[in-house]
Amino acid sequence: MSNYGLDSEAKAFSYTREELFNTIKRIVAHPHKTLTSHDEARALAILVVFDDYLTNYTESDNNGGYCVYDCDAMDFTEFVRFKLGIDDYDAVDVDDILK
């Protein structure tokens, strides 16, 4: 497991919201090891934005209220690859991104 990621070998959703929060908090604080209340506030804000995104995404397609599932809209790793210019299917590791 990387310093900043969740356990990729774990069963899906076997980690808790607290573990996800702590991971985001460590990333926000990077490269510092001491976590501050500001780091915690930013991590909480990130969680709220993702919750809004995922809730809006799963509850409506803004066209009649039907749930639409489009894998590309939920593939954040692919989005990161695109933003960083990483080839398709190459591994994306948070530790490498934060170097």
More confident residue, 78 or 41: 41
d(CA 44, CA 75): 21
> How far, rounded to the nearest angstrom, does the alpha carbon of residue 46 sit from its chain's CA centroid?
9
- At 84, give phi and psi (nearest 5°): -95, 0
Tokens 């930013």 correspond to: 42
- Across the chain, what does the average pLDDT equal? 78
Copy the structure tokens of residue 72.
């590309």
Q: Averaging pLDDT over each range in 14-18, 52-56, 57-61, which range is the top one?
A: 14-18
The pLDDT, as a whole number, for residue 38 is 93
Count Cβ neighbours within 10 Å for each residue of 40-50 and write b for 16 or more, e otherwise.
Answer: bebbeeeeeee
pTM above 0.85, yes or no: no
Tens digit of each residue's pLDDT (9 = 90 or more) over 25-54: 999 999 999 999 999 999 999 988 888 777
